[in-house]
Amino acid sequence: MEKILVTGANGMVAQALIKLLLQQGYTVIATGRGPSRLNMTDPSLHYYPADLTHPFELQMVMEKELPQVVVHLAAMTQVDECALRQNEAHVMNVEATARLLLDAESFSSFFILLSTDFVFDGEKGMYIETDEPAPISWYGHTKVEAEALVETAAMDWAIIRTCLVYGAATPGGRQNIFSWVRSSLEAGKPINVVDDQWRTPTAVEDLAAGILLVIRQRAKGLWHLSGEERMTPYRMALAIAAQGGFDGQLLTRVTADSFTQPGKRPLLTGFDISKAKKELGFQPGKFADHIKKMTTEDGQ
């Protein structure tokens, strides 16, 4: 069976993707920073610690494993951290991507980059693949640069942009809006939640399924893969509270200008996923169904 190399293996998206790839019978070459935090064992899962900012660590893995497909998920993903540590963000999100492309071109046939709705300025919203990027955060800027590197690669490539990914908390993984809202409500902690940032939030399982479609079909080019429903974090939080039987009074509706975050966030993003639905057969689930399932699993 084909070998798929996945970077950022200990991250939220990678953990869901690796679980799905193993279920589908692929051999997964998983690389992450430091020891594995993947709470799964499988003879078809090979984990290699590799810091992508150290150029040769992953080249040796590539030479040894010769993966047919590379799925590049590793990145500095905290938008505020990227704004405060711009050089580090550029080294990781751009220069490490350039290095990985060079390594992959020698050994792999297909390269997939995960990118973001933050490549857009947030003026229009519901973006399609042909809309012009205009990032307003350093994180978004680094992703635009990474996309440009991939588009000039000497091998087949796909760029998958997604938006506000949510899922159950992963061991040692970053928080996401579902895990953050749910853990705050469970602790009885009042939280301020924005109601003027518009997104099409994406269940991590749906994103993993979409990435699998791109792998299977070797679907070259640019794809917007996200949920279909336009929501704000506040409306998401109200639904999460209701589903979990929590007190919605703990949620205070605010607007983004009440946040003094170092990293600017585009107000109106979200994706029109018509192209992915038509050409890939991508079909995300409903937000309410996903949080019901996650809440049940979380409660077990």
Ligand X SMILES: Cc1cn([C@H]2C[C@H](O)[C@@H](COP(=O)(O)OP(=O)(O)O[C@H]3O[C@@H](C)C(=O)[C@@H](O)[C@H]3O)O2)c(=O)[nH]c1=O
Q: Which residues pair with 71 in a beta bridge?
A: 6, 112
Q: Which of 46, 124, 174, 235 is in the footprint of ligand NDP by CB under 6 A?
A: 174
Alpha-carbon distance of 123 to 175, in angstroms, equals 27
Q: Which residues pair with 116 in a beta bridge?
A: 162
List binders of ligand X among 208-237 (CB under 6 A): 233
Q: Which of 19, 224, 265, 275 is in the footprint of ligand X by CB under 6 A?
A: 265
Q: Which of 7, 10, 31, 116 is in the footprint of ligand X by CB under 6 A?
A: 116
Which amino acid, one-letter code, is at 36?
S
Closest residue (Cβ) to ligand X? 116
* Strands (DSSP E) found in 241-292: 251-254
CB of 14 to ligand NDP, least distance (A): 6
Q: Are strands 202-203 and 69-72 parallel, antiparallel or unpaired?
A: unpaired
Residue 193 lies near ligand X (rule: CB under 6 A): yes
CB of 176 to ligand NDP, least distance (A): 6
Alpha-carbon distance of 68 to 30, in angstroms, equals 13
Q: Contact 165/204 with Cβ under 8 angstroms?
A: yes
**Residue 51 binds: one of ligand X, ligand NDP, none (C-beta under 5 to 8 A by kind):** ligand NDP
List binders of ligand X among 49-78 (CB under 6 A): 77
Nearer to ligand NDP, 108 or 162 (CB): 162
Secondary structure element (H or E) that encloses residue 178, with its range: helix 177-186
**Residue 192 binds: one of ligand X, ligand NDP, none (C-beta under 5 to 8 A by kind):** ligand X
